[in-house]
């Protein structure tokens, strides 16, 4: 038993060496599918947030719906989406967009609502139209909070994207599923392990990137 | 600068100062409330006049003011600025031509001071050069060095500096009318006094028509051309010059609002130079002396502090104009009381 772990790691070294091209490609695909999905979700989520932030009913409907979606197990959602969107990228992107909406909508709404009343009043008092107040005052002031929502959505999507392999979606999930389906074989653990570690590393890197984005896109007057 | 090409009120296109404001039976009733917040409020404010609305919290003074730029829509009545019915104008267009300063200032934290000040000119579509020139001019007007402050953010300014930036922003498009809601209320007493005197100097220069809401009667006396003392539902208890209100409060309510020391407050409004002096002949006995531009309150203060019988009034060139005794000061007060508002 004491020997089996170093032996397994020996095997991992050879495995990584041989599969490095695959690994790089899957990591890249994983990253792309997450970026595309979170990008779409950002446009949708911020848009929905801008529409509902000051409407009680609309706000409740939007946030509750997004919250319910998040409770659907990802395997189940993919199974439902597959007949509609086929296999591969289609259902994966749709599922990831749906899962990413909640943090983005909620943070957009919270951010827009957190702008102090006196700032809104002075904006209005100077003759800004409501849409101008929203775009020029509220949105920039809410941006750090919205960005936090996007960051959370990204973390969420990186994890869930791995399940996309169930419907032949792109990304590191393929390694994990290959490992699962070949349990007992020599490389089963290597597949699962490299896929999983890849996902974790990707998540850490994405978080670091978001720290930089936050630093460079937060208006200077709002930085602590 | 003053670019009046897009002036909203006719006479502000021809004269730089303020325009008249008329409120006629203005009423505000909030839905579901039996009692009006403001009831049948009527007032005419002359061009260039600084009118103070004074009253306790919740008396409706702020509501009344905010109906002028339609931040709050009146339930009934009419409001005319320069003869033009504001309820017939687009509220956004209207507000771009009315300066607005609130107690919390409401500077936009994500914009620099220059960008904040440029808000209304940008909405009005001024050119970049026009805006830049105007921002610089205004920051100098409110004594914020443009080189130092233009590119700072609001949070990098002290409370007093933020308040000045707020005033500059409200003045940006040279509006003929300004609405100010307790603009100095949140500052410490020393800063407030400084802001008040700067504000008086500024108003002497620009001559806007200003409605200024405060709950501080002393501030009203210090700044106002006329004071409207308001009670519940924004009822006007008295509307007159500070001197006249101090000399003859219309009723108990006004008297209670003035509080103690009405005579001292009146003395603070009377410059020494406007009073009949006694003992104009010789008799230089090394007494304390005072400038004719000082107020009778300063003179009385000097009398009390030094214990002298009289103070000499000496003008800046060294001429002795006469002297003031306790009796002279009392006489001046009685005289002013008889002639009503003459002293202001």
Beta bridge partners of B290: B313
- Tell me the shortest Cα–Cα distance from A152 to chain B, in angstroms: 24
What tokens appear for B30 in the block?
A: 């909030």
Q: CA distances (Å), B139 to each of B103, B134, B164, B176, B205, in order?
A: 19, 9, 8, 19, 15
Q: CA distances (Å), A188 to each of A11, A168, A173, A195, in order?
A: 11, 18, 13, 11
- Whether residues B109 and A121 touch (CB distance < 8 A) is answered with no
Predicted confidence band at B294 (pLDDT cuts at 50, 70, 90)?
confident
- How far, in Å, CA of B53 to CA of B156, rounded? 32
Task: Establish, for the pair of chains A and B, how many residue pairs have beta carbons separated by less than 8 Å.
Answer: 75
- Tell me the shortest Cα–Cα distance from B93 to chain A, in angstroms: 6
Task: Give the pLDDT score at B5.
Answer: 45
- How far, in Å, CA of A135 to CA of A152, rounded? 23
Task: Give this prediction's pTM.
Answer: 0.82
Residue A17 exposed, middle or buried by CB count within 10 Å (0-12, 13-18, 19+): exposed
Q: What is the DSSP code (8-state) at residue B301? A: H
Average pLDDT over residues B8-19: 70
- Tell me the shortest Cα–Cα distance from A127 to chain B, in angstroms: 4
- Whether residues A118 and B119 touch (CB distance < 8 A) is answered with no
Q: Which residues of chain A have pLDDT under 70?
A: 1-10, 224
- The region of weakest confidence among A127-136, A143-152, B7-16, B100-109 is B7-16
What tokens appear for A137 in the block?
A: 């005052």
Residue B82 exposed, middle or buried by CB count within 10 Å (0-12, 13-18, 19+): buried
Predicted confidence band at B157 (pLDDT cuts at 50, 70, 90)?
very high
- Whether residues A119 and B108 touch (CB distance < 8 A) is answered with yes
A-chain CB neighbours of B120 within 8 Å are 126-127
Over the stretch B173-183, which tens digit does the pLDDT of each residue have? 999 999 999 99
B-chain CB neighbours of A140 within 8 Å are 110
pLDDT at residue B235 tops 60:
yes
- Nearest residue to A149 via CA among A33, A48, A55, A32: A48
- Whether residues A125 and B102 touch (CB distance < 8 A) is answered with yes
pLDDT at residue B264 tops 90:
no
Residue A166 contacts residue A177 (beta carbons within 8 Å): yes
CA of B102: which chain A residue's CA is closest?
A: A122
| ipTM rounded to 2 decimals | 0.82
- Tell me the shortest Cα–Cα distance from B69 to chain A, in angstroms: 7
pLDDT at residue B339 tops 80:
no
- Looking at the complex, does the CB of residue A215 fall below 8 Å from at least one CB of chain B? no
pLDDT at residue B43 tops 90:
yes
- Tell me the shortest Cα–Cα distance from B140 to chain A, in angstroms: 21
- Looking at the complex, does the CB of residue A140 fall below 8 Å from at least one CB of chain B? yes
B-chain CB neighbours of A132 within 8 Å are 123
Q: CA distances (Å), A186 to each of A7, A19, A204, B223, in order?
A: 11, 14, 29, 89
Q: Which residues are CB-neighbours of A173 under 8 A, at least 6 positions away?
A: A30, A161, A162, A163, A164, A165, A166, A195
A130 versus B188: the higher-pLDDT residue is A130
- How far, in Å, CA of A85 to CA of A61, rounded? 26
Task: Give the pLDDT score at B149.
Answer: 95
CB-nearest partner of B155 from A121, A126, A221: A221
- Looking at the complex, does the CB of residue A178 fall below 8 Å from at least one CB of chain B? no
A14 versus B83: the higher-pLDDT residue is B83
- How far, in Å, CA of B23 to CA of B41, rounded? 7
A-chain CB neighbours of B169 within 8 Å are 126
pLDDT at residue B11 tops 90:
no
- How far, in Å, CA of B327 to CA of A119, rounded? 53
Q: Which residues are CB-neighbours of A60 under 8 A, at least 6 positions away?
A: none
CB-nearest partner of B95 from A126, A220, A221: A126
Average pLDDT over residues B194-223: 91
CB-nearest partner of A221 from B100, B119, B153: B153
Q: Which residues are CB-neighbours of A204 under 8 A, at least 6 positions away?
A: none
Q: Is B178 helix (H, G, I), strand (E, B) or coil?
A: strand
- Nearest residue to A108 via CA among A204, A31, A41: A41
Predicted confidence band at B344 (pLDDT cuts at 50, 70, 90)?
very low
Over the stretch B159-169, which tens digit does the pLDDT of each residue have? 889 999 999 99
Q: For chain B, what is the mean pLDDT? A: 87
């Amino acid at each position: 038993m004491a020997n089996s772990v170093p032996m397994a790691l020996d095997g991992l070294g050879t495995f990584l060496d041989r599969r490095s091209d695959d690994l790089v490609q899957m990591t890249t695909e994983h990253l792309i599918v997450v970026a595309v999905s979170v990008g779409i979700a950002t446009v949708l989520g911020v848009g929905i947030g801008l529409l509902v932030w000051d409407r009680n009913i609309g706000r409740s409907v939007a946030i509750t719906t997004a919250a319910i979606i998040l409770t659907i197990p990802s395997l189940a959602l993919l199974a439902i989406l597959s007949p509609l969107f086929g296999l591969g990228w289609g259902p994966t992107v749709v599922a990831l967009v749906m899962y990413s909406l909640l943090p983005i909508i909620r943070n957009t709404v919270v951010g827009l609502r957190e702008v102090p009343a006196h700032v809104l009043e002075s904006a209005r008092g100077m003759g800004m139209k409501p849409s101008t107040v929203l775009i020029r005052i509220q949105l920039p002031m809410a941006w750090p909070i919205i960005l936090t929502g996007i960051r959370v959505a990204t973390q969420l999507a990186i994890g869930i994207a791995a399940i996309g392999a169930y419907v032949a979606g792109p990304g590191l999930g393929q390694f994990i599923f290959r490992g699962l389906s070949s349990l007992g074989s020599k490389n089963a653990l290597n597949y699962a392990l490299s896929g999983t570690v890849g996902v974790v590393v990707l998540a850490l890197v994405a978080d670091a990137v978001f720290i930089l984005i936050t630093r460079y896109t937060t208006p200077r007057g709002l930085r602590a | 600068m003053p670019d009046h090409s897009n002036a909203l009120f006719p006479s502000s296109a021809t004269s730089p100062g303020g325009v008249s404001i008329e409120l006629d039976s203005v009423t505000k009733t909030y839905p579901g409330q039996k009692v009006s917040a403001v009831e049948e409020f009527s007032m005419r404010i002359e061009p260039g006049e600084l009118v103070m609305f004074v009253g306790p919290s919740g008396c409706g003074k702020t509501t009344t003011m905010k109906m002028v730029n339609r931040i709050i829509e009146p339930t009934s009545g009419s409001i005319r600025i320069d003869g033009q019915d504001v309820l017939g104008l687009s509220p956004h267009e209207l507000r771009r031509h009315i300066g607005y300063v609130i107690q919390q200032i409401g500077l936009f934290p994500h914009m620099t001071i220059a960008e904040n000040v440029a808000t209304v000119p940008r909405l009005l579509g001024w050119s970049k050069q026009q805006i830049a020139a105007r921002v610089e001019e205004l920051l100098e007007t409110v004594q914020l060095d443009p080189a130092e402050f233009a590119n700072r953010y609001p949070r990098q300014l002290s409370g007093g500096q933020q308040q000045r930036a707020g005033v500059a922003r409200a003045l940006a498009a040279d509006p003929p009318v300004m609405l100010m809601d307790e603009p100095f209320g949140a500052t410490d007493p020393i800063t407030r006094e400084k802001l008040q005197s700067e504000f008086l100097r500024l108003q002497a220069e620009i001559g806007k028509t200003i409605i200024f809401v405060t709950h501080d009667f002393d501030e009203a006396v210090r700044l106002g051309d006329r004071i409207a003392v308001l009670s519940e539902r924004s009822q006007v208890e008295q509307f007159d010059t500070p001197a006249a209100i101090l000399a003859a409060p219309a009723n108990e309510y006004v008297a209670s609002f003035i509080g103690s020391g009405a005579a001292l407050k009146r003395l603070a409004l009377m410059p020494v130079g406007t009073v009949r002096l006694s003992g104009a002949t010789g008799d230089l006995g090394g007494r304390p002396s005072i400038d004719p531009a000082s107020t009778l309150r300063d003179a009385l203060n000097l009398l009390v502090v030094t214990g002298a019988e009289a103070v000499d009034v000496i003008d800046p060139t060294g001429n002795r104009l006469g002297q003031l005794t306790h009796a002279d000061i009392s006489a001046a007060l009685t005289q002013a009381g008889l002639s009503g508002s003459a002293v202001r």
